[in-house]
Amino acid sequence: MIMDRLSDAHGLVELLGDWTTAGGPLYRKLAGAVAKCIEVGDLPAGERLPSERDLAKLLTVSRATVVAAYDDLRGKGLVDSVRGSGTRVSARPRVNGSHGRVPGGRATSIFQRLADGPGPIISLAMAIEPAAPELAEVYRDLADSGELGELMSDVGYHPRGYPPLRTAVAAHYTAVGLPTDPDEVLITTGAQQVIGLVAQMYLRPGSTVVVESPSWPGCLDVFRAAGARLVGVPLDEEGVRADRLAAVFAEERPVLAYLMPTFHNPTGRMMSTARRRRVAELAARYNVPVLEDNAYSGFHSRTGAAPPPIGAFARGNAEILSVGSVAKSAWGGLRIGWVRGPSAIVTRLARYKVRADLGSPVLDQALTAHLLPRIEEITAARAATMRARLDHTRTLLGEQLPQWRWQTPDGGSALWVELPDTSAQIFAQVALRHGVEAVPGSATDPTGAHDNHIRVPFTFPIEVITELVRRLATAWADLQRHGPVTDTPPVV
Ligand SMILES: Cc1ncc(COP(=O)(O)O)c(C=O)c1O
């Protein structure tokens, strides 16, 4: 599998991530980053490295830099080069390696930043914020209530979810137009776990999954890991294109469609009510289960409530699973999400859930049960800050990067920006050297399209946004002026 990924240089570039931050000359930084991939087992023994020319092109460095980096690795016994068959990771590299273990396990760059820690750069990999201040109030209220004593007097294992939270989630859906019984709710460890459980239950190697194009790399990763074949459907102003969705449902016989109707990530688009109704009709007509991920709810840049979930328009036996989470609206650290769907499906999903972790942390669930009735109020309180950040980002981008294009999002926390006539993979490498980690749009697309886009979150404090746009503008000017950076060949 990993051999396939690395058959082109893109795979290695993704593995390298933010390789430029260490000290010393560029070739040493590169050699150090490749050595780290070998050490953690991302590059197993025998793995063929890309040609010097290909890697240099994608990293926007001179070929001499890659030649010197490979020489350095060869000198350390980490790689071998055989004339005619390129450079490979040594059979027995002189580092711990991962012998006997399954190679790989690296996540999309979005998750990798979380796993590796923040680093000195401004990372655009995640659009996340600290906890809403109301969370501390809810925490105190819970501690002062008698509920904790009662909660701790039971065994604490609730694989389907802490009952008061299931009731609160059911009430939440009922209030937004999707009447729900607690039996139709499974509590999970974040929305991310729902995607994993659904993938386990629905997907087999070769299964076809429909996703929006672009989509969210975090779900693409999970579906790919399950061996799925991904088919992308584009969006228009109202959300996923219904004509294309109908054609794909009819022709591809997908086992699942994964959609983000509310503040689609990364475009921030809100699917219209009419389109939601149409998607529900198509799901019923073609018998395709739909996983609607509304985890990315939150800041709404227009007035008025979001339309009801797609599940509210389900007819007959249509399997519409609605996913939610408090990560974006209250705090990612709570790690509480849920799925709402027909009770028979939820019961089956609960079996996967119990096998995965025996249930999500019950104290966090109790907190969420108290938080959920206040979620509208919390979102509204955040809206003013988010609006100011969005306005600031738009103004600065307009002033300093007038060639960049974007549409004001309906909501969410990022701008989906088009870089005219430029590969975002190339721009991302230049941006790294200016202190910004940008995720190329190709990571969001099942076919690698959208490579001329990046997602620019506006979740940062105002002064960080100012610095971020300054760095982006400097990197852009650098790329326009000089093209890909070519450093002076190092003396080796
Ligand atoms: C569309 C989408 N789904 C799911 C998640 C994961 O949510 P959680 O933190 O609740 O697991 C995210 C996080 O960014 C997301 O953007």
Ligand 1 centroid from CA 438, angstroms: 19
| 296 within ligand 1 shell (Cβ under 6 A) | yes
- For residue range 337-382, list pLDDT tens digits in order: 999 999 999 999 999 999 999 999 999 999 999 999 999 899 888 8
Joined tokens for residue 282: 């198509």
What residues contact 17, with CB distance under 8 A and at least 6 apart? 33, 109, 112, 113, 116, 437
What sign results for the dihedral spanned by CA atoms 180, 360, 193, 440? positive
- The beta-strand segments (E) located in 260-336 are 290-293, 320-325
Least confident segment among 11-15, 37-41, 112-116, 289-293 = 112-116
CB distance 368 to 222 below 8 Å? no
| 325 within ligand 1 shell (Cβ under 6 A) | yes
| 192 within ligand 1 shell (Cβ under 6 A) | yes
The answer regarding whether domain 8-89 maps to CATH 1.10.10.60 reads no
CA–CA gap between residue 254 and residue 210 (Å, rounded) = 7
- CATH fold of 134-376, please? Aspartate Aminotransferase; domain 2 (3.40.640)
Ligand 1 centroid from CA 387, angstroms: 21
Joined tokens for residue 125: 């990999």
| 265 within ligand 1 shell (Cβ under 6 A) | yes
Helix, strand, coil abundance in the chain, percent, nearest 5: 45, 15, 40
Ligand 1 centroid from CA 215, angstroms: 12
Question: What type of residue is 117?
Answer: G
- For residue range 387-428, list pLDDT tens digits in order: 999 999 999 999 999 999 999 999 889 999 999 999 999 999
pLDDT at 298: 63
CA–chain centroid gap for 365, Å, is 23
Residue 15: pLDDT band (50, 70, 90) is confident
- For the chain, give the percent of residues with pLDDT over 90: 70
| 258 within ligand 1 shell (Cβ under 6 A) | no
| 111 within ligand 1 shell (Cβ under 6 A) | no
Residue 472 φ then ψ, to 5°: -60, -40
pLDDT > 80? residue 194: yes
| 268 within ligand 1 shell (Cβ under 6 A) | no
| 191 within ligand 1 shell (Cβ under 6 A) | yes
- For residue range 125-172, list pLDDT tens digits in order: 988 889 999 999 999 999 998 899 989 999 999 999 999 999 999 999
Joined tokens for residue 158: 């609730």
| 218 within ligand 1 shell (Cβ under 6 A) | yes
| 413: nearest Cα among 460, 372, 375 | 460
Mean pLDDT, the chain, rounded, equals 89
| 329 within ligand 1 shell (Cβ under 6 A) | no
268: enclosing H helix or E strand: none
Distances (CA, A) of 1 to 44, 208, 285: 12, 18, 36
Joined tokens for residue 173: 């859906």
What residues contact 122, with CB distance under 8 A and at least 6 apart? 435, 436, 437, 460, 464, 467, 468, 471
| 338 within ligand 1 shell (Cβ under 6 A) | no
**Which of 215, 263, 325 to probe ligand 1 with, by most ligand atoms within 8 A of CB?**
325
pLDDT at 6: 47
Side-chain-facing half-sphere of 450: CA atoms under 13 Å: 26
- For residue range 224-267, list pLDDT tens digits in order: 999 999 999 999 999 999 999 999 999 999 999 999 999 999 99
The domains of the chain are located at 8-89, 108-131+381-482, 134-376
pLDDT at 314: 96
Q: Whose CA is nearest to atom 3 of ligand 1?
A: 295
pLDDT at 82: 83
pLDDT at 113: 62
CA–chain centroid gap for 194, Å, is 14
**Which of 109, 111, 189, 265 to probe ligand 1 with, by most ligand atoms within 8 A of CB?**
265
**Which of 109, 113, 211, 216 to probe ligand 1 with, by most ligand atoms within 8 A of CB?**
216
pLDDT at 112: 66
* Nearest ligand 1 atom, CA 127: 14
Torsional class of 122: left (φ above 0), alpha (ψ -120 to 50), beta (otherwise): beta
Ligand 1 centroid from CA 330, angstroms: 13
- For residue range 56-99, list pLDDT tens digits in order: 988 888 899 999 999 999 999 999 988 877 899 998 655 554 55
pLDDT at 364: 96
CA–CA gap between residue 424 and residue 452 (Å, rounded) = 5
pLDDT > 80? residue 299: no
Ligand 1 centroid from CA 139, angstroms: 23
**Which of 197, 293, 328 to probe ligand 1 with, by most ligand atoms within 8 A of CB?**
328
**Which of 110, 192, 264, 364 to probe ligand 1 with, by most ligand atoms within 8 A of CB?**
192
pLDDT > 90? residue 444: yes
272: enclosing H helix or E strand: none
pTM recorded for the entire structure: 0.86
Q: What is the mean pLDDT of residues 460-467?
A: 96
485: enclosing H helix or E strand: none
Joined tokens for residue 85: 């068959």
| 312 within ligand 1 shell (Cβ under 6 A) | no
Q: Which CATH number fits domain 108-131+381-482: 3.90.180.10, 3.90.1150.10, 3.30.1490.20, 3.30.470.10?
A: 3.90.1150.10
pLDDT at 443: 93
